[in-house]
Amino acid sequence: MDDSTVAELAFDLRAALAPIYRRLTAEKDLPLGQTRVLNALVRHGGATSSALAGAEHITPQSMAAIVAELEARGYVQREQDPDDGRRRVVRITADGREALERDRNAMSGWLASAIVEQLDAREVATLAASIPVLHKLGLPRG
């Protein structure tokens, strides 16, 4: 495949995925940054705000704002680190887990409905076959 064909394919793929991404994010209640923090807390348990900032590659100040908003909504709580009383650990609450689950369900629900309503059986099979390829595109190079 020549370079111009690959470039055109990349453009077409981006053009196809962009409206899907916009629609998925429109279904969400939580902003992406908050979702990422809640997902990290589910995966890793508690973490300091600094550790979360490092993992998300954002400034500690930006993470502090995200954590403050999540705490105000009752989705996280901060508690003393049992190993170092000078530090505070952020943990997801039951309400935070529920909010994250609602967001996931809203996005998946919309997408599942769109698949059922807009695609025929052959298109569903094609979409299913493309999932491993799309995952491969998202993997880090190296």
Taking only the tens place, the pLDDT of each residue in 65-114 is 999 999 999 999 999 988 877 889 999 999 999 999 999 999 999 999 99
At residue 97's C-alpha, the angle toward residues 94 and 99, to 5°, is 110
The domain spanning residue 7 has which CATH number? 1.10.10.10
Query: Over 70: is that where the pLDDT of 142 sits?
Result: no
Structural domain range at position 131: 3-138
Q: Tally the domains of the chain.
A: 1
Residue 14 CB coordination number (10 Å): 10
Contacts of residue 32, defined as CB under 8 A and 6 or more positions apart, other chains included, come to 25
Looking at residue 82, what is its pLDDT?
A: 81
Q: What is the pTM assigned to this prediction?
A: 0.75
Distance CA 18, CA 58 (A): 24
User: Nearest-CA neighbor of 76 among 45, 105, 31?
Assistant: 45
